[in-house]
Amino acid sequence: MKPEPLGFFEKVYEVARLVPYGRVTSYGAIAKYLGASRSARIVGYAMNSSHNKDVPAHRVVNRNGLLTGKHHFEGTNLMQQLLENEGVKVIDNQIQNFKEVFWDPSKALLDETS
DNA sequence: TCAATGACCTGCC
DNA sequence: GGGCAGGCCATTG
């Protein structure tokens, strides 16, 4: 369980932690930032292991802005509650204004003057 | 070691 | 423009 010291997972955790408050990102965005847009599934898999980490997995959703992984949280609406608590409008597991709350790692890290 | 699965994405019909 | 199928990389049984 230790392919590399700083493998894909760690990178995913890093980006997930870099997600600002009230902002969300997508698996594809992280994967793309890591240079593995085709390995978007791995990013989600990393989140699965991020349960024990301090990774805000609730800020990470799919490309459609749908809380696909909310099923993996404690409660059924915990993920939604967390996002709403941060100011993100979530209705029926669907993030409203996803385009506005969307946080692109590559773009944000590239231009931090947001 | 092999095979199947998975919080997805992209491309094609 | 919408829906369906395949593929990608890594982990677990």
Give CATH for domain A8-113: 1.10.10.10
CA dist A23 and A32 (Å) reads 18
Q: Is the pLDDT of residue A114 over 90?
A: no
- Rounded distance in angstroms from the CA atom of residue A4 to the C1' atom of nucleotide C2: 42
CA dist A27 and A44 (Å) reads 6
Cβ A80 to strand B below 7 Å: no
- Rounded distance in angstroms from the CA atom of residue A77 to the C1' atom of nucleotide C12: 28
CA dist A50 and A27 (Å) reads 14
CA-CA-CA-CA torsion sign (A62, A41, A3, A34): negative
CA dist A88 and A1 (Å) reads 35
pLDDT in tens, A81-102: 999 999 999 998 999 999 899 9
pLDDT in tens, A17-67: 999 999 999 999 999 888 888 889 999 989 988 888 899 999 999 999 999
Nucleotides of B under 7 A from a protein CB: 6-10
Nucleotides of C under 7 A from a protein CB: 7-12
* DSSP of A66-87: B-GGGGGSSSSSHHHHHHHHTT
How do the domains of chain A map onto residue ranges? 8-113
Residue A112, pLDDT score: 53
